[in-house]
């Protein structure tokens, strides 16, 4: 449905280069990346606010770069929602339909349908100034959906709502998207949000898309260290793979790990903190193990985070706290432990 090919834009301090992205019909894709990385620029380029320097944008099988926004069939919900302040919510929602000359009766039906769906029926006579953040968000969504767009573009739609509301809005967004089958591109810097709604995640950084894949694939096999940090993998260790006598080793900071999957030459080892298993010395578990010391222990509700030091190398481990796992209690700061890295959870990326 959306095809972006080798798109490059230069816009003030932002520059996008060689962006490739493809979103299938009816799919929900989240573009994830740190704040200020130019995600919004990419979205607004799809809307048609900026012309590209080079590259192509295809939407619904038609080439759209160079077409004005009104011909793209793309509904856009900006981060600040931008409900027109001089119109009531109802007039905001029907704005697009009025432009299209939709008959009044049909407009009223659609308004009714959308306001029921989004639970904003009682707010229709209000001006945006008198709506809360969540109400504005749903209003802006209704306005976008009212034109039956081919594509829905959401820019940080949940950044202005509190965490509690975010969960329920995530469910609502996903449910709505499933129900209406709208191809959706959603920009976010929040991993939880991306995982909650995305069929696929595209990680954006340094002005381009670094990895585009299903959520669990991005989580477990990040393409590089930037993507890894972006999706919450705190263990990214640069080092090199060495082959000796047919055995493969990963070397970093004077530590040697026997890992069969390591490629030869410089690379980064990537392992999620929840896959790093510290255990009392002598306990039996499969996988390469090494001695380590617990440097620091931090309780965060149901989870315990440990900083593990092995030679010059430090790794973070995350495990359920004592109430959930008896092992965790014994792992206080200063304890000597054996660390096991399950072979199939360790992933290597080019440095």
- Write out the residues near other proteins by the rule CB under 8 A: 44, 47-49, 68-70, 72, 74-76, 78, 80, 82, 84-86, 95-96, 99-100, 143-144, 147
Q: Name which of 86 and 122 has its Cβ closer to other proteins.
A: 86
Q: Name which of 72 and 189 has its Cβ closer to other proteins.
A: 72
Please state, in angstroms and as integers, the Cα–Cα distance from residue 44 to each residue in 40, 110, 222, 252, 328, following that order: 6, 27, 27, 43, 47
Rounded to the nearest whole angstrom, what is the least distance from the CB of residue 345 to other proteins in the complex? 43
Cα gap 118→153, rounded to integer Å: 17
Cα gap 332→298, rounded to integer Å: 9
Rounded to the nearest whole angstrom, what is the least distance from the CB of residue 208 to other proteins in the complex? 23
Q: Name which of 156 and 338 has its Cβ closer to other proteins.
A: 156
Q: Name which of 69 and 342 has its Cβ closer to other proteins.
A: 69
Q: Name which of 47 and 242 has its Cβ closer to other proteins.
A: 47
Rounded to the nearest whole angstrom, what is the least distance from the CB of residue 87 to other proteins in the complex? 9
Rounded to the nearest whole angstrom, what is the least distance from the CB of residue 94 to other proteins in the complex? 10
Beta-carbon count within 10 A of 175 CB: 12
Cα gap 156→52, rounded to integer Å: 22
CA-wise closest residue to 308 among 318, 299, 323: 318
Rounded to the nearest whole angstrom, what is the least distance from the CB of residue 77 to other proteins in the complex? 8
- For residues 340 and 258, the answer to whether their CB atoms sit within 8 Å is no
CA-wise closest residue to 91 among 44, 59, 152, 139: 139
């Amino acid at each position: 449905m959306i095809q972006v090919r080798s798109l490059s834009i230069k816009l003030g301090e932002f520059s996008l280069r060689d962006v490739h992205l493809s979103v299938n019909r009816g799919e929900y894709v989240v573009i994830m990346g740190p704040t200020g990385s130019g995600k919004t620029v990419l979205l607004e380029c799809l809307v048609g606010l900026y012309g590209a320097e080079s590259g192509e944008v295809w939407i619904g099988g038609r080439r759209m770069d160079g077409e004005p926004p009104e011909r793209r069939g793309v509904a856009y919900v900006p981060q600040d929602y931008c409900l027109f302040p001089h119109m009531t919510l109802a007039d905001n929602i029907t704005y697009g339909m009025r432009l299209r000359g939709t008959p009044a009766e049909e407009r009223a039906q659609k308004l009714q349908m959308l306001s029921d769906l989004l639970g904003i029926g009682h707010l229709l006579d209000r001006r945006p100034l008198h709506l809360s953040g969540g109400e504005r968000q749903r209003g802006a969504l209704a306005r976008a959906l009212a034109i039956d767009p081919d594509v829905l573009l959401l820019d940080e739609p949940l950044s202005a709502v509190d965490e509690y509301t975010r969960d329920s809005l995530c469910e609502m967004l996903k449910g709505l998207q499933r129900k209406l089958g709208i191809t959706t591109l959603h920009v976010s810097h929040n991993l939880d949000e991306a995982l909650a709604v995305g069929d696929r995640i595209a990680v954006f950084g340094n002005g381009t898309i670094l990895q585009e894949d299903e959520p669990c694939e991005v989580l477990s096999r990040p393409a590089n260290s930037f993507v890894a940090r972006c999706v919450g993998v705190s263990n990214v260790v640069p080092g090199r793979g060495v082959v000796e006598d047919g055995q493969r080793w990963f070397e970093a900071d004077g530590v040697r790990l026997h890992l069969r999957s390591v490629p030869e030459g410089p690379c980064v080892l990537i392992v999620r903190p929840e896959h790093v298993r510290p255990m009392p010395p002598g306990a039996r578990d499969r996988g390469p193990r090494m001695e380590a010391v617990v440097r620091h222990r931090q309780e965060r509700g149901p989870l315990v985070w440990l900083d593990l030091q092995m030679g010059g190398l430090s790794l973070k481990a995350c495990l359920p706290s004592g109430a959930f796992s008896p092992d965790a209690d014994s792992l206080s700061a200063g304890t000597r432990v054996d660390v096991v890295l399950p072979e199939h959870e360790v992933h290597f990326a080019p440095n």
